[in-house]
């Protein structure tokens, strides 16, 4: 079993952006994005995360997003779906709704509304309860900047990693990814994925097996190439490419967030479209800056 799960999680995942037109979910454009990304080297998809603006979707819309991706993903592409809610009960209920649709894993964000109470004991009990009742394996999603500062500790990870239905963590924190990697008990079937291009290569160097990278929404193959070069022991080339992509990322999503990711997608042949309010779209000057960055890097045709 471990080789199956490890294989499904090894590589680069797209944290799928949700296209909106006039603030409405546009399934045809999402479908077109998935069909185009199927031809890239990405390992799979992770919809209903931060880049997918999952907090701005109704449950009905969220289910529709999953339906579109399940229907259009290429054979062999792994599907990790964000199902986290603020209670264990609500998380379990939503996970059950999408589990039968053909997903591989559920990604569960740290609960954070009662941030001051989210200590190790609370988080361990939360994830244990969810994993006990989830029909699919669970991944922990750690992103303090979007979760009211809640950071799951390596100590909690060392305990949760031993649960048979908790198989990994997406680390989008500013912490040292090595702390999570080292917290995994020997022999545990639990894997670490980087949640940012900025720590992707370092994660691979320390034992992570992949990444869920916002850049993969618009530069999927270049993101995958970092891991390919690393696996081929071409470490200097991997470092050079990583530095290049980190600089691009800093000028795009590092500056403008999800709206900038969508703008870059629009420029590079995908349908990023607009963000949903309260997120504001970029203005014309900001879009021109992104266009300039991509043009200088020889990425615009």
Q: Which residues are catalytic?
A: 170
35, 221 Cβ separation under 8 angstroms: no
102: left (phi > 0), else alpha (psi -120 to 50), else beta?
left
138, 171 Cβ separation under 8 angstroms: no
Candidates 108, 109, 198; CA nearest to 148 is 109
Angle between helices 284-296 and 253-267 (to 10 degrees): 80
Task: Tell me how long the chain is.
Answer: 301
Q: In this structure, what token pair is assigned to residue 196?
A: 């940012």
Q: In this structure, what token pair is assigned to residue 82?
A: 């964000």
> Rounded to whole angstroms, how far apart are CA atoms 251 and 231?
28
> Which stretches within the chain are classed as H helix?
2-9, 27-37, 59-72, 88-99, 120-133, 154-160, 177-183, 200-206, 220-231, 235-251, 253-267, 284-296
118: left (phi > 0), else alpha (psi -120 to 50), else beta?
beta
> Rounded to whole angstroms, how far apart are CA atoms 120 and 215?
32
Dihedral sign (CA 156, 161, 165, 171)? positive
């Amino acid at each position: 079993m471990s080789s199956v799960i490890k294989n499904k999680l090894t590589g680069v995942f797209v944290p799928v952006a949700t296209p909106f037109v006039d603030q409405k979910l546009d399934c045809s454009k999402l479908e077109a994005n998935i069909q185009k990304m199927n031809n890239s080297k990405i390992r799979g998809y992770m919809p209903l995360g931060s880049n997918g603006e999952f907090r701005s979707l109704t449950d009905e819309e969220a289910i529709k997003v999953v339906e579109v991706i399940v229907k259009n993903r290429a054979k062999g592409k792994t599907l990790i779906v964000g199902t986290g809610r603020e209670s264990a009960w609500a998380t379990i209920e939503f996970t059950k709704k999408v589990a039968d649709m053909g997903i591989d894993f559920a990604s569960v964000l740290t609960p954070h509304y009662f941030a001051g109470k989210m200590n190790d004991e609370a988080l361990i009990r939360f994830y244990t309860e969810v994993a006990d009742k989830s029909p699919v394996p669970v991944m922990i999603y750690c992103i303090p900047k979007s979760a009211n500062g809640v950071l799951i500790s390596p100590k909690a990870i060392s305990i949760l990693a031993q649960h048979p239905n908790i198989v990994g963590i997406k680390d989008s924190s500013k912490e040292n990814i090595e702390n999570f990697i080292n917290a995994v008990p020997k022999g545990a079937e639990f894997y670490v994925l980087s949640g940012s291009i900025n720590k992707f290569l370092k994660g691979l160097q320390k034992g992570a097996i992949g990444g869920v990278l916002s850049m993969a929404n618009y530069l999927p193959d270049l993101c995958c190439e970092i891991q390919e070069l690393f696996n081929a022991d071409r470490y200097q080339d991997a470092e050079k490419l990583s530095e290049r992509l980190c600089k691009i990322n800093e000028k795009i999503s590092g500056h403008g967030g999800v709206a900038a990711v969508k703008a870059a997608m629009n420029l590079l042949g995908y349908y990023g479209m607009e963000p949903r309010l309260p997120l504001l779209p970029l203005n014309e000057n900001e879009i021109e800056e992104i266009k300039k960055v991509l043009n200088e890097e020889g990425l615009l045709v």
